[in-house]
Structure 1
Amino acid sequence: MSSIAVLHVDDEPNFLDVATEILEQQSSKLNVITAASAAEALDCLATTRVDCLISDYRMPGKDGIELLKAVREEFPDLPFILFTGEGSEAVASDAIAAGATDYLRKGHGTERYELLANRIENAVEQYRTNQRAAELERVRALVSSIDQALIRASSLSEIKTRVCEIISDSEPYRHSSLANTTDNIQN
């Protein structure tokens, strides 16, 4: 597995520094970026590729569950681990119901961070596997549609038209300038 960009959100700067150091010691794959608030985390997500987000629960402004809900609006599948000292079954239940990938209570000693690093790696591996599977399915569906267009076409012009339409209507081209060039290719 390649490098994993982890965004760790906690309103305690000293805790973030220590947690970052310990996590990166637990796994050489982890590259931890920190944010001191939910707002800072959302700004970071808007500009930086992140593979996993870890958040405390109790923070000023938005708490961890509110951050999770905001993240899910933009990144519905991004691994999100609630890593909190404020733990209860109710918080864990709320986190899972809101779409958290995992929930883990903070603790003392490096064993907790070893467990957290392991859970991050597992969640990201599953996330990346799902992304690859979705991309392969998208390509398979596109190839199948083009195959059908080739079989049904009765002229070279019709082949060009249908293939260009199929490609320009597919992701990631749907909203690109390729969709606008279909007429130029057909002529």
Structure 2
Amino acid sequence: MGDRISAPVDVLCVDDEPDGADLTAIRLERIDERFSVETATSARAGLAYIEENTVDCVVSDYKMPDIDGLAFFERVREKYPRLPFVLFTGRGSAAVADDARSRGVTDYLEKDADDRYEVLADQIRNAVEKRRREIPPNGHGQ
């Protein structure tokens, strides 16, 4: 069967601050060459991207002007219930983290953690590996 995580990992990073999204994309791609990271600057743009492209994992900011990260998560889950979703936020709190986990977000990470990009990369790898083990090799990723 082979190691499915050796295949490319398509990540969508959604953050209303373009510089933040771009920095996250660059750092993730440097940490793991299998990562191919696209960015969107709003939840609406992220939803449109997911509709048109294969995505293995979504990384989303929490505080965004149009739709917050948890509302975005709920919309993604409605159509793609198995798609891993990591809430990656600079404006979180224990209450947000608890709410996110209780709703079923795959993982939660605050942007101010010292090794945030390495931890985020691990969270993505773990979530994608788990999902790929659950989906048949020719199954659709979402």
Q: TM-score, normalised by structure 2?
A: 0.89
**Inter-partner Cα distance in structure 2 for 1:77 and 1:108:** 27
Runs of 4+ in 1 over 6 A off after TM superposition: none
Aligned residues: 133
**Percent same amino acid among aligned pairs?**
46
1:140-155 aligned at under 5 Å gives the runs none
* RMSD across aligned positions (CA): 1.4
Shift of 1:126: 0.2
2:93 equivalent in structure 1:
88
Q: Does 1:35 align with 2:33?
A: no
2:135 equivalent in structure 1:
131
Q: List runs of 5+ in structure 1 lacking aligned partners.
A: 136-187
Paired residue secondary structure (1:70): helix
Residue in structure 1 matching 2:108, options 103, 107, 110: 103
Structure with the greater relative contact order (CA < 8 A, sep ≥ 6): 1 or 2? 2
2:3 equivalent in structure 1:
none
Paired residue secondary structure (2:54): coil
Shift of 1:74: 0.2
Q: List runs of 5+ in structure 2 lacking aligned partners.
A: 1-5
Q: Which has the higher strand share?
A: 2
Larger Rg: 1
**Inter-partner Cα distance in structure 1 for 2:37 and 2:104:** 22
Identify the range of structure 1 (40-49 vs 100-109) with the bigger mean alpha-carbon deviation.
100-109
Distance change >3 Å, CA 88–CA 108, structure 1 → 2 = closer
